[in-house]
Amino acid sequence: MSLTRKHVAILGVGRSGRAAAALALRDGARVSAWDLAGPEAFVGLPEGVEIHPHASEADGGELVSDLLVVSPGIDTYGSYVAAFSRHAGEVVGEVELAARYYRGRIIGITGTNGKTTTTEIVERILAHAGLGGNACGNYGVPFAEVVLQENQPAVVSLELSSFQLETIRTLHPVVSIWLNFAPDHLDRYPSVDAYRCAKLRIFLNQVAADTAVVRSGECLPEMAPKVVQFSTTDRAADWYSDGQMIKHVGETWLDIVSDTHLRGLHNAENLMAALAACKAIGISSQVMREALCSYTPPPHRCELIRTLDGVEYLNDSKATNLHALESALRSQTRPVVLIAGGKDKGLDYHALLPLLAEKALAVVTIGEISRPLADFFSSVVPCESVFTLADAVAVARSLAPNGSTVLLSPGTSSFDQFTGYEQRGNVFRDLIHQLS
């Protein structure tokens, strides 16, 4: 495609918008940038871009463009985008624009949970294989920044949110990964089905020569690519794990406990998806094992801090809602002493009780909600109520036998005691390293 002498309008001037503007300029377009924010938000845009701060729907209704590039953070179902789209020749997102200029292969990754970890694992394997493998899209850098590099990588690890998938047209992953699906983002989508349909667009342009790596048991439509399944429950899947060993058609490929720093059934799924995707493009098992030896997961996401006296200590401080707490608990294969609590957000914890009864030896509650949460959970599991995280670590250690896991997965936000989940997780990490 050529944008020479065409008008490209960028709606939203965050990092992806700035990257899209730079790419369009490089191809000879006249570029304008529009945002509700004031002039300060436009700092960092490439020279030559026309800027339009405080852009209103009325402005959008008057705008005529050959191509409108909408940032993923802007609701494409809303009247604001509708106004700017009225006289646009085509409406796309930044990842779609970048894909039209990318000369390599794409491994595309989507799912409600686990995208970032899987994207990082794929990136690590691709880099070790000498294929570049830049993590980009919804995680890492904007795809357009990768495309603007003088030497484009041979393969990219492209995380795709539903927001980004809404606006693809030609983007074509040679391998797609569908990790899982659960209701989310219903503040943006009119229904769960609309959210699901947006995610399903990852398969839109795949053909029979491509591969779709999907979680076994997901309800997916018929599709053109070859389907490879992974599972922690279905032993007949192409890839299967019990949480420790990963097997491909019966052959052991990886010992998660010995060969990686990842833990939990959900991370076993992330690993299998990444391995299956990289195998599909011809990377050997030996190269993949070597790449994973030194890999550590993103901080605060079931991050293994250390093992002491046979007890594993996991930092899942990013679990700031009940869905994340439930996922972390469900993924554990060892008995759990859970540290939960924080700010009182008025959440309903009833659905968590059966899972606590199944997975937890004990719960130590913290923060503003500590006492009421302990009272509530005590109907199914022994509970101790404390206020500080330091006290919680001390109590949890006393309750955790050899072979168990102490899991910090608060299930709510941290703002009663911390500046955010990162600080909460960092304090937990420091406390665990101080144990002797």
* Angle, in degrees to the nearest 10, between helices 285-292 and 115-128: 120
> What are 244-254's pLDDT values in tens digits?
999 999 899 99
Confidence tier at 322 by pLDDT (50, 70, 90): confident
Residue 297 has pLDDT above 80, yes or no: no
Please report the beta strands in 71-225, taking only residues with DSSP state E, as ranges in sequence order. 91-93, 105-110, 132-137, 155-159, 175-178, 211-215
Based on its alpha-carbon atoms, the radius of gyration of the chain, rounded to whole angstroms, reads 23
Tell me what pLDDT residue 323 has.
79
Average pLDDT, the chain: 94
> What are 277-296's pLDDT values in tens digits?
999 999 999 999 999 987 87
Q: Where are the domains of the chain?
A: 7-89, 97-292, 303-434
Query: Is the model more confident about 303 or about 23?
Result: 23
If you classify domain 97-292 with CATH, what class do you get? alpha beta
A 10 A CB-CB count for 130 gives 10
Instruction: Return phi, psi of residue 296, to 5°.
Output: -120, 145
Tell me what pLDDT residue 144 has.
98
Query: Is the model more confident about 211 or about 267?
Result: 211
DSSP annotation of 297 reads: P
Is 97-292's fold the same as 303-434's? no
DSSP annotation of 88 reads: B
> What are 378-417's pLDDT values in tens digits?
999 999 999 999 999 999 999 999 999 999 999 998 988 9
Residue 328 has pLDDT above 80, yes or no: yes
Confidence tier at 213 by pLDDT (50, 70, 90): very high
| Rounded Cα distance, 298 and 104, in Å | 26
| Rounded Cα distance, 371 and 317, in Å | 20
Token pair of 150 as six digits:
């003088």
> What are 10-69's pLDDT values in tens digits?
999 999 999 999 999 999 999 999 999 999 999 989 999 999 999 999 999 999 999 999
Least confident of 55-59, 271-275, 323-327, 377-381: 323-327
DSSP annotation of 103 reads: -
Residue 374 has pLDDT above 90, yes or no: yes
> What are 165-191's pLDDT values in tens digits?
999 999 999 999 999 887 767 778 888
Tell me what pLDDT residue 22 has.
98
> What are 6-19's pLDDT values in tens digits?
999 999 999 999 99
| Rounded Cα distance, 69 and 67, in Å | 6
Residue 298 has pLDDT above 90, yes or no: no
Tell me what pLDDT residue 34 has.
98
Tell me what pLDDT residue 184 has.
67
Token pair of 314 as six digits:
């996991």
CATH of 7-89, one of 3.30.70.890, 3.40.50.720, 3.30.70.270, 3.30.420.10: 3.40.50.720
Tell me what pLDDT residue 428 has.
98
Mean pLDDT along residues 223-242: 97
Output the CATH code of domain 303-434. Answer: 3.90.190.20
